[in-house]
Amino acid sequence: MNGQCSFIDTRSISSEEVFDLFSTANQFRSSYESKGVFLHRGLAPQNKLAAFTFFESSTRTRMSFQTACYRLGIPVVSMDSLADTSIKKGESLLDTIFNVRAMNPEVLVVRCGQDLDLYELDKMLNIPIVNAGSGTVSHPTQALLDAYTIYREYGQVKDRRVLIVGDIEHSRVAYSNFQLLQKLGAKVAACGPPAFLPQEGVFPGVKFFHSLSEGLSWAEVCMVLRIQLERHDKSHLKLPSLATYHNEYGLTSEKLNILDKEGILMHPGPVNQGVELAPSTLRDKRSRILEQVENGVYVRAALMARVLGISTLEKSE
């Protein structure tokens, strides 16, 4: 995390900071489960406002950041839909952000495409920025919640064998996960058709599989990604038919049985059923897909508390 405590990618967070966040997330979880609150009443932050500017669609990330803020007592102002903003009248994304910034929130949570450089924005705004997904570049809070899900399952991330299957080339989730999981000591591999994989060597240490069965034989954790059709160059579509893709790389209950018997299935969502996942796999006892969503609230709450300098120390009543 940088000087003004922005969180823009997983490169800028140390493994110690990650485990501190996991510990705060665990604290929020146990406090919520036992007392129905994340924070002791006396610790609710005063005068902290979060502004959300989501320039791309989102269900999980936006709602879990909102839930996290509400549970911490941080009011949120948010654009509900681009169709209702003045971007539709020609205002630029940058001008939109400067105008939201002029309302003096204490933190800005941003989802954007490739057209915004969050590091440049961070230099201009003078308040912390949290990256809620940036083009094909990064999705660092997704990587945090994914690593937290693995950590809760196995008690550690180190040496876990994580296979990421699908459209890696166009996936911000994959890039942030490669960085963070390797930082935490996991063994990471990618699997997909050649057109969906980055050049070997772009991510040193990441193994490549072109056969799903071989990848599943190696893995403990299988993280499946959807095909990011909206990010493909439509003039050079390198996509096999969806049926061919499902036959070769779609995970079915039968293929899931190849996975280590202690293995788990993950997916960041949204899922395209019948393409990357057969519907039956969603109900499989190894699926942790909804746990990922729940974990996202605790992890994002821990991150927001950290970014806003909110004390989470327990006090006696």
Residues of the shown chain interacting with ligand CP in the complex, contacts defined by CB under 6 A: 58-61, 133, 142, 268-270
Residue 36 is encoded by which pair of tokens?
A: 């129905």
Question: To the nearest whole angstrom, how small is the minimum distance from the Cβ of residue 198 to ligand CP?
Answer: 20
Neighbours of 221 (CB within 10 A): 28
Question: To the nearest whole angstrom, how small is the minimum distance from the Cβ of residue 269 to ligand CP?
Answer: 5
Q: What contacts 158, CB < 8 A, 6 or more positions away?
A: 184, 185, 186
- Of residues 58 and 272, the one with the C-beta less far from ligand CP: 58
- Of residues 304 and 310, the one with the C-beta less far from ligand CP: 304
- Of residues 251 and 310, the one with the C-beta less far from ligand CP: 251
Closest to 166 measured CA to CA, from 234, 107, 245: 245
Return phi, psi of residue 203, to 5°. -115, 90
Question: To the nearest whole angstrom, how small is the minimum distance from the Cβ of residue 292 to ligand CP?
Answer: 8
Return the HEC string of 70-113. Answer: HHHCCCEEECCCHHHCHHHHCCCHHHHHHHHHCCCCCEEEEEEC
Longest Cα separation, the chain: 63
- Of residues 27 and 176, the one with the C-beta less far from ligand CP: 176
Question: To the nearest whole angstrom, how small is the minimum distance from the Cβ of residue 199 to ligand CP?
Answer: 25
CA distance 312 to 305: 8
- Of residues 130 and 310, the one with the C-beta less far from ligand CP: 130
Question: To the nearest whole angstrom, how small is the minimum distance from the Cβ of residue 132 to ligand CP?
Answer: 7
